[in-house]
Every structure is written in C-alpha cells, then in structure tokens.
Amino acid sequence: MISLYEELLKILEEEKTLLEALYKIVSEERDAIVALKGDELEKIMRDKETVIMKLSLWEQERLKLLKKHDLSDKSLSEIISQIESTQDAQRLKQIYSAMKTLLGATSEIQKVNEQLIDRSIIHINTAIKFLESFGIAPKQSLSREA
C-alpha cells in the first residue's frame, strides 16, 4: 500500500514539473511581448492555459488525497513539518521549497508581462488617437483581453 507521503510526493513532483514549465512559458511570453511577436504570443498563451489547467487538476488530486487522510484543514507546510525526519520528509521539504521559489519567480515575471502589455496598449491607443486626429479611423477596436 502506498503511503500518504509517497502519494503526496508524486503529486508534488508533478506540480513542480508543471511549475517549471510555467516559469519557462512566462519567460518566453515576456520575450515575445518585448519582440512584438503576436503569432508566437498566441501560441505561448495556449501553452500557458494548458499548463495552468494541468496544475489545477493536480491541485485537485492533492486536495482529494488530503481529504482522504483527514488533512483538509491543514496547510501543506503544516503537514510537511509534522512528518518524521525521513528521506521522504526531506524530499517533500525540498520540493515544497522549490515550488514556493518557482511560484514567486513566475509571479514576478507575470507582473512584468502585465505591465508590458498595459504599456503597449497605452502606446497603441496614443497612436490610434494620433491617426484619428487626421481623420483616419481604425478598422477594429482594441481591448486588453484580445
């Protein structure tokens, strides 16, 4: 029978792998935004959505596992801190620490990406207004969601 910690270790390893992929994707996204590569950005966004969806599924698996062992009310750090000092415990702590680092780094890059997009929209809107001042109307509207 597989122990709680072995199952948790497997789930966290999958989540960590996906977080590494997400970090790489948001870095590529930043590069595509800066280089104004719209087609590449669309592909990156699809990849990003796929990874986020997979992360969500693994998160649900982790929550089910914790619920199955009556640990739903405890945070992951609490659970890991209560594990006896074994090889599994050390590996869980390493993965948890790496995941926290990846989440923080990914979040920072994502904030930069959002700022770059916002600035690009401001520049585009300024250009549109400039063209409109000469009576030239855009063929389509611009939105942040696009």
Cα(70)–Cα(56) distance, rounded to whole angstroms? 21
Query: Looking at 30-34, 108-112, 140-144, which range is the least confident one?
Result: 140-144
Answer yes or no: is pLDDT of 1 > 70.
Answer: no
Domain holding 75: CATH number? 1.20.58.300
Q: According to the model, what pLDDT value does residue 59 have?
A: 95
Is pTM beyond 0.85 here? Answer: no
Instruction: Classify residue 138: in a domain, yes or no.
Output: no
Instruction: Classify residue 82: in a domain, yes or no.
Output: yes
Instruction: Classify residue 107: in a domain, yes or no.
Output: yes
Q: According to the model, what pLDDT value does residue 66 have?
A: 93
Please give the tally of structural domains in the chain.
1
Cα(23)–Cα(104) distance, rounded to whole angstroms? 10
| Domain around 69 | 4-132
pLDDT digit string, tens, across residues 64-105: 999 999 998 988 888 887 776 677 778 888 999 999 999 999
Those residues with Cβ within 8 angstroms of residue 85's Cβ, 6 or more apart along the chain or in another chain: none
pLDDT digit string, tens, across residues 102-117: 999 999 999 999 999 9
